[in-house]
Amino acid sequence: MRKTFLLAIIAVIAAVTQANNCPALYKQSNLSPIFNETIAHAIHSMTVQGLRLFNPRATVNNKIPTVNQNLHNGAKVVPFAPEDPVGNDFFDFTMNMIDRVLTNVGTHDDGLGHHWSPAERIVHVFHMWDLWLHIQPYYQRIVSSSPVSDALCECLLDTKANGIYNNVGWVANHYESGTPISLKNIVEIPPLVDGNSWKIWKKDLLQYYNEESLNDAGMYLYCALKDF
């Protein structure tokens, strides 16, 4: 009993020490100062199918926090990226994805809440897939030439301590009241109805396409997927 107690104390001390080291590791690793925001944006609507762009062996047994696809049932954030298979009624992935999105309109089962129009839902899902494809080269570069240390991975994957989980929660909460398309929104985004409103949407959608944001996401996904 005494030995078990001592081992538990040692484990707690080790965990606290590791947590205290995380800020230094973040700084040394070239993560951006807002990595918890950029990563949360990249993963908030991640799916197993999206993860397989990076590691084909990925499964639902991942620990990537995402917005609950059914925001009206249970927790706003779930501790994994879910399966979200796309059908094959059409020939091309694009039409099959559009079919997937439009089939779910009115079901409140796509993680966006009820404020998004069909066009806005289509833009959102293709924006995320476009971003994930843009992250791919950063992920692959890390895999092939500069693997992330186990210590840094431990820090990055502790999403409740480093703010990633809370930022995913921010997205979920704001989906209940509007259509936020970045975590930088200060004013309400207008409905997407014409070319002028698209200009505003496009500007916000591109906020996380810079090199720092893509590198942040690539590093996190390397850590999250390396053991598959």
In sign, the C-alpha dihedral spanning 61, 139, 111, 156 is positive
- Domain extent, residue 8, equals 2-225
Residue 85 is predicted with a pLDDT of 93
Residue 186 is predicted with a pLDDT of 57
> Residue 119 carries which side chain, given as an amino acid letter?
A
Q: Give pLDDT tens digits along the chain (228 positions).
A: 554 444 444 333 444 445 679 999 999 998 999 999 999 999 999 999 999 999 999 999 999 999 999 888 789 999 999 999 999 999 999 999 999 999 989 887 788 888 899 999 999 999 999 999 999 999 999 999 878 999 999 999 999 999 999 999 999 988 877 777 777 655 678 999 999 999 999 999 999 999 999 999 999 999 999 999
Residue 13 is predicted with a pLDDT of 42
The structural domain count of the chain equals 1
Residue 8 is predicted with a pLDDT of 40
The answer to whether the CB of 83 falls within 8 A of the CB of 58 is: no
Residue 18 is predicted with a pLDDT of 57
The two tokens of residue 21 are 């080291």
In angstroms, what CA-CA distances link 31 with 76, 146, 200, 211? 27, 14, 28, 11
Residue 110 is predicted with a pLDDT of 82
Residue 2 is predicted with a pLDDT of 52
